[in-house]
A and B are shown apart, each in its own frame.
Chain A
Amino acid sequence: PRPASGQDYISQRATRPSRPPRTPSPRMRRARPGAARGGGPRMPAAGGGQAEPGPRGGPLRRRESRRVPGGPARPAAAAGPPPAAAAAGPPPAAARPAALALVTLLSFASRFHRLPEPPHVCWDETHFGKMGSYYINRTFFFDVHPPLGKMLIGLAGYLSGYDGTFPFQKPGDRYEQHNYMGMRGFCAFLGSCLVPFAYLTVLELSKSLPAALLTAFILIFDTGCITLSQYILLDPILMFFLMGAVLSMVKSNSCADRPFSASWWFWLSLTGVNLAGATGVKFVGLFVVLLVGLNTIYDLWDLLGNLSLSLVMFGKHLLARVLCLILLPLALYTAMFAVHFTVLNKSGPGDGFFSSAFQSQLIGNNLHNVSVPEHLAYGSVVTMKNLRMAGGYLHSHWHLYPEGIGARQQQVTAYLHKDSNNLWIIKKHDSDTDLSVPSSPVEFVRHGDVIRLEHKETSRNLHSHQHEAPLTRKHFQVTGYGINGTGDSNDFWRIEVVGRKTGKLIKVLRSQVRLTHVATGCILGSSGKTLPKWGWEQVEVTCTPYLKETPNSLWNFEDHINPKLPNISLDVLKPSFAEILLESHMVMIRGNSGLKPKDNEVTSKPWHWPINYQGLRFSGVNETDYRVYLLGNPVIWWLNLVTIGLYLLITVSTAVALKRGVQLTSELKELSRVVLRGGGQITLGWLLHYLPFFMMGRVLYFHHYFPAMLFSSMLTGITWDTLLKFCAAFLSPSTTARKVYGGGFLALVLLIMYSFYLFHPLSYGMIGPMASDPSSPMAGLRWMDSWEF
């Protein structure tokens, strides 16, 4: 209890009656007793204060007292504030559907405007359009992202009559007669849905129409969001599912008061569906899974503390969430992979990334429907494939290592293509009898045997010695040595199968084999580095003295020719669906981390993104080209940036005020709840979609920020609405407060619209001189030197 505030109260009470009685807007009148009560904990409750007969009119007081118990956020439809106050006060019931319709309409109009332009391949359309075509042609390919996004693109193309024949070779290729509008339209449709989704989310969180409208306007008029939605890309699809997940999460939270109702189940399971969708498009979707997961844990923790809820009920809650948010998404996610592998059954450009066993499933692959002997025997002719991703076949040819690079012996490399130089004969290390004579008995190679590998074409033995390897200096050189199969003891290798006991046979395709050099103890491996010209740009093969289990030093046998053994069909080796699923994920993860920036390459850094430092060229370079440049509307982005700071300020001060026990009016309490809970959820989303990029080693691009940007825009809506409401609440109950609120809001919207008017050519295409030229329409808009339009 602080006496000073009590005096405040008294002095305010004293001044109040002197105010001329007039009819202020409803919400300003509410602010007045709030300010008084803000003084100290001893103040009478709101209702008591209202009951005193004051200078104000009866009807007004009645309206007020009705609002207080209902909470300020409830729309007071009957009150019917004047139209000008629609932006300031709770809107009439009809305003919400109308506003929703308005923003949806604007959103669709902005995304579909000039959609067919430019009629050529733009930026990553070359990848994702191509992959859509692969689905239509059912050829197998490899991509670092999960398949859903590309499947949907393929489906959209298929339904709109695209036949999959356009090659999508490089950006700038004209589409000519090919029907690309279906795919672009699909992406634009999903991109347009983001705005109503964000609108509804903010409305649900803040219960404030202006906040929702502000968010919607930001997203509608952001050039970056427009550009990203207009092309055949994964991003609109990803963001659609992501925003869908957020919206349904928020909706299901607000259904918490009637658990297990139909709408509760609906929103909860919809959250799960969207999570599966988001993760199925890109792994970035895992961040939203994390967001929903944290939210659910918070939710469950809340329920657990509710002692009126029996443990059985809590168990039901828990089970429902496990079902909808874990099992359902997992099932859907697995299902989309099942569809993916069923649709893509023809051999294509992605084969080489996968194991031999997998390749045997693809129609047209040379491993498809072949039969080979199952177990390796001495005298067999084999090819060996390295197990690293896109690892080549062990290869040798007549050329020698050049002068000065190790011993001047025959090169041994890894080669990605099928070739007769990949064939090796397995021989015993101590006898050189010709095993191809039909009469000699068959002897199988067993785990732990010491063997010799003879190159079939050149009759040299696989050999290693303590010379340094050509590129990886710490490893030993591997060469082809000897004449007609006669070499020395450095040609002996011990063959071992991973995870197998001594004496077991070695299977084609299935066994993962390690070859240990007997004399030096090193292991045969492929370093993955490309040899220079003298090595025909094939991949280096070394013998590594570091005994680490990596796929680099593991091999499997792929082709196997031995006339003395019975052939079996490779269908026996057919991997199960679970194995395929696991393998494809391993390949995707390795592919993702393999996207490393090269030295000297200028890459986009995560800190560039929120400040809109640099965009991406979607189409066109020169003055005569139709140029599209992916860049956020700088006014909006900088507003977002400033807002994050503002939000932090507001949150910290609100939290400290609450912690210090400062008494707030119910209206301010409601506002701080919106800031802390709703804003907190959104901020968490922003952090989860932004911070992890700082830790990623792979190549990053500007467009990776857009999911975070959605959250940032929603935060802007909520924060400015709260800020203006706070300002209004601390002003005296006059029309100025309302003016501040309405005016501030209007100014923001006008500012956003005007900046869009300035920057709209970025999305809708620029032709003519570059912005550095004063005669260009964009002249003077190049506010940062790093923008390249």
Chain B
Amino acid sequence: MLGFLKKPVVVTAEINMNLVALTVMGLISRLWGLSYPRAVVFDEVYYGQFVSLYMKRIFFVDDSGPPFGHMLLALGGYLGGFDGNFLWNRIGAEYSMNVPVWSLRLLPALAGALCVPLAYQILVELQFSHCAALGAALLILLENSLITQSRFMLLESVLIFFILLAVLSYLKFYNLQRHSSFSGSWWFWLLLTGVACSCAVGVKYMGLFTYMLLLAIAGLHFWHMIGDQNLSNVSLMCHFLARGLALIIIPVAMYLSFFYVHLTLLYRSGPHDQIMTSAFQASLEGGLARITQGQPLEVAYGSQITLRNVLGKPMQCWLHSHTNTYPIRYENGRGSSHQQQVTCYPFKDVNNWWIVKDPGMQQLVVSNPPRPVRHGHIVQLVHGITTRYLNTHDVAAPLSPHSQEVSCYIDYNISMPAQNLWRVEIVNRESDTDVWKTILSEVRFVHVNTSAVLKLSGASLPEWGYRQLEVVGEKLSKGYHQSMMWNVEEHRYGKSQEQKEREVELHSPTQMDISKNLSFMAKFTELQWKILTLKNEDTEHKYSSSALDWITMDTNIAYWLHPTSGAQIHLLGNVVTWASANIAALVYTCLSLWYLVRRRRKIYDMPEDAWQLWVSAGGICVGGWAVNYLPFFLMEKTLFLYHYLPALTFQILLIPIVLQHLSDHLCRSLLLKSMFSALIVAWFSSVYFVYCTFRPVTYGEPSLSVTELKDLRWKDSWNILIRKQ
């Protein structure tokens, strides 16, 4: 214990100065002049609004991905002391003084810079030479598109960082596997793999594909372990459990925790409230909660309620009626019942109030004690202001002729009897005797005579219906769709029989706090479901491109243009690197096929361990490229060039691998080898030359003249902005 008395404590540190140098160069290239331009650059306009909302703790839903990436950006804003007051409405708008531009852009830039040493380490762990690893790092360093994407408040560089980190830690783990299983560093790298994977998925859903790739590789490696007869069944089981814990359970838990933090941070109601259910809205401070606090929970006969459609599409709306009637004849000549219109109205209105009435009794007040309405009970719904009954009958609805018209019944004495009995069906009930609850219960109204279901058709009525949404009785009810479900939002117990007094009634004494009833898991499930299913209208964008354009870089994106001079920033890659990466992938595939066929015929071109290296390097790089690229062909969203960057990173890592392989195995003579090295040097200088050529549009300075800009337009399809003189 007191050994230091006898022997001095000696710390020998081994520092790979190359790695340090690479890191420093990466930091310089990504952080140089980071707060220039002090203006909103491209998608900063999109992510910035979320950062502001985080700062103000206002709830939002973003369908572009899970919240971790947004939270990281917001962390930058928090560290920089951003108060969230900036109007993110226009690309190119000058930042006001309160926006800490440098710290907002810092995290993505750091992530982008660290990709350089990560690339080096990955190649080292793949057991390629130091020279190849250096080459990979330098190629990443000099890739203009990665630089551009890292220098702004965007998420791709963060995604790429976590993806590379996950790959690296898995490789470290796998290399430790051979001699020191279950050691401290073994556990560290295994756990880091899981953590990095979940972070990648948390930043963008694209990370999921790399996670799947790593899972598949881990599964394959484990499969080889199963065949190893030296391992006992018990230790095999331990290995299996350790992997399951680190690669599945921890990522899932981390993913949930992102949402937990997200929901804890954002507790105020905001612009996206109406996408969520009433129960969710009620859990946010400010919005619906103000109204619903202190409402009675159980709906009883005599309750006064507003009914919100659960679907919330095309917009949230409440069941509504007003004194106007359906026109006797529609424009297309069909007739109507000429009874009072029932619609769905997207705004709060006194005409949204309905009273639940027991068909057997006349009174419209809640008895004492209240008689709650249960699943399966039959009720009448009385419109509060006009005291007419909700009714449906065998008359075609105005816009959906296959469904029944829903009206508030007016007795014209024309042998068209009232059919106003509705059966209450609680869809999310736990038992068949459940009570109809405010906000929480999702209810279907089934018409007793015709078994039609009250439904929001989604169409909006013409002028005579004030463009409100059409409500119909759906006879051929196909399963349970949210457009047929309604929930009570505002609710009070009716106390007065008199029409006049009804609107000034007091709240009932049964208090409840609904936000406490919604558990984290319920909120998470709802939010996750909304994120996945929220469909934005497909938008056209000037710089959108198709996945096929990316390989050859036929497209670019103009990120920013100086308001007066010709200085501008483009997302443009290093042409030589992109082309070489494509060639490397092609060479790799062809060579692998060739080797495979020859091995099948028992002709071995290289030693077994070299072959294993070749396969595992290709599995990660080509596999990483494929999983990050091919899924885009199946996606129907608007695509941009920057979506290709994770795939490109993997492809770049492949270049030195292929080059080293060519030099080691195909250049047999010394002369050939030195010629090959000379070629590589020449090629690398061209990479550097292209990087320098495009540096002005990568960093946005210096400003170029018109002729210089025209010279940069190497491809006709590139959109370089040239000011009209």
Contacts and interface: CB of A to CB of B under 8 A. Distances in A.
A695 interface: yes
A16 interface: no
Given A307-B602, A474-B540, A599 B226 contact: no
A529 B81 CA distance: 47
A342 interface: no
A581 interface: no
Contacts of A548: 540
Interface stretch (B118-126, B479-487, B703-711): B479-487
Contact of A786 (B226, B227, B479): B479
A602 B477 CA distance: 9
A163 B227 CA distance: 67
Given A546-B540, A599-B314, A660 B227 contact: yes
A321 B539 CA distance: 46
Nearest to A661: B229
B522 to A, nearest CB: 21
B668 interface: no
B476 A304 contact: no
A83 interface: no
Contact of B600 (A301, A544, A602, A614): A301
Given A546-B540, A600-B311, A600-B456, A786 B600 contact: no
A600 B479 contact: no
Nearest to A614: B479
Interface string A46-60: 000000000000000
A3 interface: no
A308 to B, nearest CB: 12
B331 A533 contact: yes
A659 interface: yes
B292 interface: no
A544 B636 CA distance: 20
A656 B226 contact: yes
A301 B599 CA distance: 11
A109 interface: no
Contacts of B458: 599-600
Contacts, number: 52
Tell me the dominant secondary structure on chain A's binding face: loop
Most chain A beta-carbon contacts within 10 A, residue among B233, B314, B601, B634: B601
B601 A600 contact: no
Interface residues of B, number: 29
Contacts of B221: none
A659 B227 contact: yes
Contact of A600 (B233, B483, B541): B483
A17 interface: no
B331 A304 contact: no
Interface string A299-317: 0010011010001000000
Interface in A529-574: 533, 544-546, 548
A544 B539 CA distance: 13
Interface in A240-287: none
A697 interface: yes
Contacts of B541: 546
A614 B477 CA distance: 12
Contacts of A301: 600
Contacts of A649: none
Nearest to A603: B478
B377 interface: no
Interface in B577-599: 597
A327 interface: no
A475 to B, nearest CB: 9
B478 A614 contact: yes
A621 interface: yes
B542 interface: yes
B685 to A, nearest CB: 36
A614 B542 CA distance: 43
B331 A600 contact: no
A613 B600 CA distance: 47
B602 A602 contact: no
27 contacts: A301-B600, A304-B601, A305-B601, A307-B602, A311-B601, A474-B540, A533-B331, A546-B540, A546-B542, A599-B313, A599-B458, A600-B313, A600-B456, A600-B457, A600-B481, A600-B483, A602-B478, A602-B479, A602-B481, A617-B476, A621-B476, A660-B227, A660-B229, A661-B227, A661-B229, A697-B636, A788-B478
Interface of B: 223, 226-227, 229, 233, 311, 313-314, 331, 456-458, 462, 476, 478-481, 483, 539-542, 597, 600-602, 634, 636
Given A304-B597, A533-B331, 16 more contacts: A304-B600, A304-B601, A305-B600, A307-B601, A474-B540, A546-B540, A548-B540, A599-B314, A600-B458, A600-B481, A600-B483, A613-B479, A659-B226, A660-B227, A661-B229, A695-B634
Q: Which 5 A-B pairs have the closest CB atoms?
A: A600-B458, A602-B478, A602-B481, A659-B226, A304-B600
